[in-house]
């Protein structure tokens, strides 16, 4: 899309169509790349801050403009891209700019998906809006906004976490694991910036050990805490997979995506009804990656053996995942076989468990 001159790709010759920009609320604009590269328009509208979420940064002619503060986030418009972890950072950038009397332009290539997602997330947190209300408010100002299905699911999760990133939230854990799995699929190793997904060894000494643990049936070593379990229900579908959103309440879609299409009250009522009837499966124990699993950072799949007695406890697979006997397909998957471990709620001397 851009000319390649002496091995360097530039943005000067990109064509995102005619300049397109809309003021979502006072001094907050949502637009496309053409608007962001129109120096005359930027000067005329007195834009002071530009937030770019795109595959390439703005051209040098914009980067060198005086009195404009730029922020760049490199993300492509793909459903499995991670925008959620940037929500807080971009919220602070927009809020800081507006509170100091600035004018902010948020843009991506067309101003339809990525940048719209960030503006919707800002509106949700700034005005304590539900996803549906914020989406409608932005779409009313810019009629063709349309975040891709993955970004829509991330916005719904953001609402579920009360407009913050909650690292203890089960859905957020699953979300980050699937994003990391995409990276492992490409690089064959776990990138350094995803190492925080590997949780501490639950058998290490601690001042406040968790009362509920899972132990190797053979040697009694602790291999997981209750908080490491990633529960699933029978025949559950993958949540963060790229799906097409259809009209109506399509039963073939994951319920988290189906609820995006329903009136807000109806969606909440359905969630409450489902919560009453759904039972968690215990035929396979899916868990978070743990520090006692030495091969998970540099192999895409393998066995999980007890670090003390070397008994086989389960397996892991970043890419293929695991088919639970209940019918659920979980990917990525780190799992323990129930017959190989015992559940215990008797708190013992932690030092003796190592």
Nearest of 307, 312, 300, 303 to residue 341 by alpha carbon: 312
Beta partners for residue 343, in sequence order = 214
Tokens representing 32? 């496309």
DSSP H helix total and E strand total for the chain: 10, 16
Nearest of 315, 312, 352, 351 to residue 333 by alpha carbon: 315
Radius of gyration of the chain (CA): 24
Sign of CA dihedral 192, 194, 198, 200: positive
Catalytic positions, written as ranges: 108
Question: Helix, strand, coil proportions of the chain in percent (round to 5)?
Answer: 35, 20, 45
In whole angstroms, what is the distance from residue 300 CA to residue 258 CA? 31
50 neighbors 73 (Cβ within 8 angstroms): no
Tokens representing 151? 């970004």
């Amino acid at each position: 899309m851009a000319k390649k001159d002496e091995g360097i790709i530039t943005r000067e010759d990109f064509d995102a169509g005619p300049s397109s920009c809309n003021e979502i609320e006072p001094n907050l604009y949502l637009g496309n790349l053409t608007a962001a590269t129109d120096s005359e328009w930027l000067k005329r509208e007195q834009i002071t801050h530009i937030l770019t979420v795109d595959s390439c940064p703005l051209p040098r002619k914009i980067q060198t403009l005086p009195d404009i503060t730029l922020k760049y986030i490199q993300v492509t418009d793909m459903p499995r891209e991670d925008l959620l972890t940037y929500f807080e950072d971009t919220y602070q950038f927009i809020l800081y700019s507006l509170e100091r009397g600035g004018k902010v332009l948020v843009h991506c290539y067309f101003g339809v998906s990525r940048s719209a997602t960030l503006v919707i997330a800002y509106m949700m947190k700034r005005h304590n809006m539900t996803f549906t209300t914020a989406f409608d408010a932005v779409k009313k100002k810019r009629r063709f906004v349309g975040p891709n299905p993955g970004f829509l699911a991330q916005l719904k999760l953001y609402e579920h976490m009360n407009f913050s990133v909650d690292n203890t939230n089960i859905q957020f854990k699953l979300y980050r694991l699937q994003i990391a799995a995409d990276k492992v699929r490409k690089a064959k190793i776990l990138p350094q910036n995803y190492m925080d997904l590997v949780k501490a060894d639950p058998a290490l000494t601690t001042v406040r050990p968790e009362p509920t643990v899972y132990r190797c049936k053979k040697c009694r070593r602790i291999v997981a805490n209750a908080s490491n379990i990633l529960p699933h229900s029978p025949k559950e579908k993958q949540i963060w997979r790229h799906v097409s959103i259809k009209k109506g309440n399509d039963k073939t879609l994951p319920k988290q995506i189906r609820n995006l299409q329903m009136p807000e009250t109806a969606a909440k009522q359905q969630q409450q009804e489902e919560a009453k009837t759904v039972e968690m499966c215990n035929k396979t124990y899916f868990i978070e990656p743990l520090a006692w699993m030495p091969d998970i950072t540099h192999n895409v799949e393998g066995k999980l053996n007890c670090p003390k007695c070397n008994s086989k406890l389960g397996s892991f697979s970043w890419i293929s995942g695991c088919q639970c006997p209940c019918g659920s397909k979980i990917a990525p998957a780190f799992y323990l076989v129930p017959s190989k471990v015992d559940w215990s709620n008797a708190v013992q001397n932690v030092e003796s468990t190592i």
